[in-house]
Structure 1
Amino acid sequence: MSPGATGPSAPARPLDLPSAAPPTRPEPAIAGAGGSVQPAAQRPQQAQAARPTVQRRPPTRRLEPGDLICPDCGEGNPPTRKFCSRCGASVAEAEVVKARWWQKLRPRKGPKKREAGARPSARKTRKSFPAKIMGVLLGGVGKVVGVLFLIGGIVYGLVPNIRSSVNEEFNSIKSKITNIVSPTYTEIHPADITANSGTKQHGASLAVDGKKNTFWLSYPTTEPILTVTFSSKIDLSRIIVYNGATGDLSPGVPASFVGFARPGVLHLVFPETNKSSDVKLQDDPDQHTYSVSKGSGITRVEIHLPLASLNQPANSQGKKRLIAVTEIEFFKKD
């Protein structure tokens, strides 16, 4: 029909809808020779950029005890972090910075840090009535002591007499402490020497003459006793002994250490105090220092040479030999 003709209109055409056919799927695997399955063909994908590698570097902050060291970059992180502040890596298994021994001795600064959810109970934080009383008393005492120290310092600086008295007392206490920690000793020279035994050429006075080439010889028939008297009361604290014989037996004839008996023990008797003490000697001619007990407040000491403690010469063949002592020196504690 022509465009100008009139008549019944043509029926409407249905709308064009998309095809409802199922989407295409990748082709199934194709069985190859021998029954092996070959993968299906796939469309090439876009290449992904390579993940940048993290280089381990020194931390940018000072490490403190408890910090977490990142295992990837080495950055130090506070204990509260879960991820590294520099590279973003997890710090769940990071190394924890440990405190050095001297850091553990320092007092903590600031309030005590507690973890989230940890709160002290009221029973632990509440102080008892006696504790409150002690806190008030000690707090007041501390203030009073501080004020007294301040006043004492001012007086010490302004009053010369008080300053000199304090210095003398301080030096006296310091000297006593020094003598206890590292004592010093002064030699005491006897005023008189007697003995119940001794030869004509080697009498008892040679045992305290201060010489190391002379010696005292006593007979072994009775226990030799050397009595030493001092000019004033002393506190005998130490003796030095040169055991045996040294020097010359007679002019031109040297003495032999092993040729005479030597005392093994000195039995010291203090008649004024009715006390005594024993000193065990070394059996050689060298200088040896021995401590003396119970020798305080004396002016006289008796030195016994017990016959039972003698060290006899090896060639004595059972015979008792003369007993030799080279030198005994006496000391008091300063």
Structure 2
Amino acid sequence: MAPVLPGRPDAARPQVRAPGPHPQEPYGPPCPWCATPNRPDRHFCGRCAMPLADNGARTTPPGHLPWWRRLFGPGRDEAPWAGERPRLRRVFDRVGTWVTAVVVVTLLILGAVYIPDGYHATRDHFAKRAPVEPDQIKASRAYTGHPAKLAFDKLNNTWWGPGVVQSGQGEWIEVGFARPTRLLDLIITPGVSTRADKLDESALPHRVKATITKKDGSTTTRDLTLDPGAGGQRRAFRVGEVTKVRFTIESAHAASAKKQVAIAEIEMFGRSDGSRT
């Protein structure tokens, strides 16, 4: 027979000792999980490594905790298994959670307070304007032949004047509504006409204070500033539940001892789909 080379030896296999019961202690307390006997002094099973609850390893249960500790304190739920534990929450995470909660609550409160105003403001912005007619018209005084109603007759060649010279400071003209009305815009035409060649015939209102009376009896004021020009001047005048508006003259353009202040027209506008509620 021909010579044969020696074979390559196999690599030595690692000797792994699997956990299990000790052969000399087959009658120790059984594990409640896998029933493997264990020494009495062990706290964890030698086979499955689970806690031995029946051999004194279990800690003494805590005493009775107050309700707020049971509700908000730690240990309310069963401890998760290894590999299923949630991410560790740090101090900044808790602070961020509280800050977020405060911001959300604040936004909800502000939304509940301002949503009605925002709703009406949106409707007012997109609503088509329609003229609003007053039910009552009166003034502090009027010049002969130029009563207060001429400022609301839709004619630009008639006018109202208080019949006093200079600026007419403190004189007023007032309108009332039988039912609460929502107003959106005003157009005030100063002077005795819309024609530019007639501007010198009277003083022109400059600052006008509008005193608004609402349905609940409360009052608020708006300051209107007019230019010394001819023609109507539009001003935003968004206010709801109006029952009365008084326009008081504070100052006038081109006031003199030979002129009285005059207003040719005051036009009020609301929503075209019903300005009264």
Bigger Cα Rg:
1
Tell me the TM-score normalised to structure 2 length: 0.48
